[in-house]
Amino acid sequence: MDYKLGTYLVYLAVSGLLTVWVARTLHKNGQVFLDEALGNEDLARSVNHLLVVGFYLLNLGYVTVALKISEPLLDGSSAMEALSWKVGLVLLVLGGVHFFNLFVLSRFRRRRMLERMAPPIPPKRILPTP
């Protein structure tokens, strides 16, 4: 087995395991955040599942698109450098997707909290109802 094939196999294994681990962690720990942000447990569970599916599709798609190594790998050192570059990019993509999800969901939560807040100034009198 040459260095390039070995690097491909290690890259796919490490990237796949990292993606699965991050997705499971986000699914498990994100449920509470989604319950609070959306205010409906059934909706939050559905959104959480859809986010995980999208997360897998996006990240595993990136892993497969970024698989090709164009430079020749002549020794173990160049194979390790190529592998670290590839895995580092996968980690950056995973982090970017995670922070984007947090940003969007925090906007939902913020809007929901603003809807529940009392008016800034209490009313001085109440109008009679017709």
pLDDT at 85: 87
Contact 87, 66 (CB under 8 A): no
Task: Label residue 17 by pLDDT band (50, 70, 90).
Answer: very high
Per residue in 47-100, pLDDT tens? 889 888 988 888 888 888 888 888 887 888 888 888 888 888 888 888 888 888
Instruction: Using the predicted structure, report yes or no on whether residue 22 has a pLDDT greater than 80.
Output: yes
Q: Which of 25, 46, 6 is nearest to 94 (CA)?
A: 25
Burial readout 60-69 (b: 16 or more C-beta within 10 A, e: otherwise): bebbeeeeeb
pLDDT at 1: 65
| Residue 58 included in any domain | yes
Amino acid residing at 47? V
Domain extent at residue 26: 3-116
Question: Poorest-confidence range of 11-20, 32-41, 81-90?
Answer: 32-41
> Total structural domains in the chain?
1
| Residue 124 included in any domain | no
| Residue 102 included in any domain | yes
The overall average pLDDT reported for the chain is 84
| Residue 24 included in any domain | yes
| Residue 63 included in any domain | yes
Instruction: Using the predicted structure, report yes or no on whether residue 123 has a pLDDT greater than 80.
Output: no
The pTM of the whole model exceeds 0.75 = no
Question: What are the φ and ψ backbone dihedral angles of 124, each rounded to 5 degrees?
Answer: -85, -30
| Residue 130 included in any domain | no
